[in-house]
């Protein structure tokens, strides 16, 4: 990833009125083609899910620190209700975390995926700020929205563009913290 792409992305976040689409931090485990969680998954029981490891927790804290260091004003932070996303958002410590089913991936676990994706695109397209909207989600959700599968803990910065198919255009990408 080019350094200017990262600089342009950070500049946009500092400017406000943009969206930071973040894939959750490192959460190892086999991808089973069902959203990456093991059999017996329950949304209300983190013990049944793929969760952040120490690397993922460190990435989440480093993301929050990077937001603060760059002077990004976060007006709202929303997360998929999956534990690895909620924990990433909470460890960033940039504001109170709300959960949203619009950030759940298009898998067999989300039969309302088409409606959720429409809601997500509208949420992004209608964001005006003044600060940044942070959305912590899954690689499959990002792919469904803009055709990119980011690395774990990678940030894709979007400029809301009402009327476009995705509701936004990609400004740049910020690599996962080391």
pLDDT per residue over 103-133, tens digit each?
987 665 667 788 889 999 999 999 999 999 9
Give the span between the Cα atoms of 70 and 66, in whole angstroms: 6
8 A C-beta contact, residue 109 and residue 44: no
Of 34 and 172, more confident: 172
Say how far apart CA 112 and CA 152 lie, in whole Å: 24
Longest dimension (CA), the chain: 44
The average pLDDT across 14-39 equals 81
pLDDT confidence of residue 3: 62
Mean of pLDDT values over 17-35: 80
Q: What is the pLDDT of residue 165?
A: 77
Is it the case that residue 35 has pLDDT exceeding 70?
no
Q: Which of 123, 64, 117 is nearest to 89 (CA)?
A: 64
Mean pLDDT of 147-157: 96
Query: What pLDDT is stored for residue 4 in this prediction?
Result: 66
- pLDDT attached to residue 107: 64
Q: Which helix (H) or strand (E) holds 82?
A: none
**Helical H runs in the chain?**
3-15, 54-70, 83-92, 113-125, 139-146
CATH class of the 3-29+38-174 domain in this structure:
alpha beta
As a whole number, mean pLDDT of residues 22-34 equals 75
Instruction: Please give the angle made by the CA atoms of 120, 36 and 82, to the nearest 5 degrees.
Output: 50
The pLDDT of residue 67 is above 90 = yes
List Cα–Cα distances, 50 to 57, 63, 78, 135, 157, in angstroms.
13, 20, 19, 19, 25
Average pLDDT, the chain: 90
The model's confidence at residue 32, banded by pLDDT at 50, 70 and 90, is very low
Mean of pLDDT values over 156-170:
90
Residue where the block lists tokens 């973040």? 22
- Contact assessment for residue 60 and residue 176, using Cβ atoms and an 8 Å cutoff: no
The answer to whether residue 18 scores a pLDDT higher than 70 is yes
């Amino acid at each position: 990833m080019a350094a200017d792409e990262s600089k342009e992305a950070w500049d946009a976040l500092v400017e406000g009125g943009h969206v930071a689409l973040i894939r959750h931090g490192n959460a190892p485990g086999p991808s089973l083609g069902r959203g990456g969680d093991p059999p017996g998954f329950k949304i209300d029981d983190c013990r049944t899910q793929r969760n952040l490891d120490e690397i993922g927790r460190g990435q989440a804290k480093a993301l929050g620190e990077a937001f603060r260091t760059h002077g990004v004003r976060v007006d709202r932070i929303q997360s998929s209700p999956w534990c690895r996303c909620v924990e990433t958002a909470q460890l960033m410590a940039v504001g109170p975390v709300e959960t949203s089913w619009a950030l759940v991936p298009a898998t067999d676990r989300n039969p309302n995926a088409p409606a959720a994706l429409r809601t997500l695109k509208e949420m992004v397209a209608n964001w005006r700020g003044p600060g940044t909207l942070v959305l912590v989600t899954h690689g499959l959700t990002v792919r469904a929205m803009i055709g990119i599968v980011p690395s774990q803990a990678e940030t894709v910065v979007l400029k809301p563009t009402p009327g476009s198919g995705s509701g936004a255009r990609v400004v740049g990408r910020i690599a996962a913290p080391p």
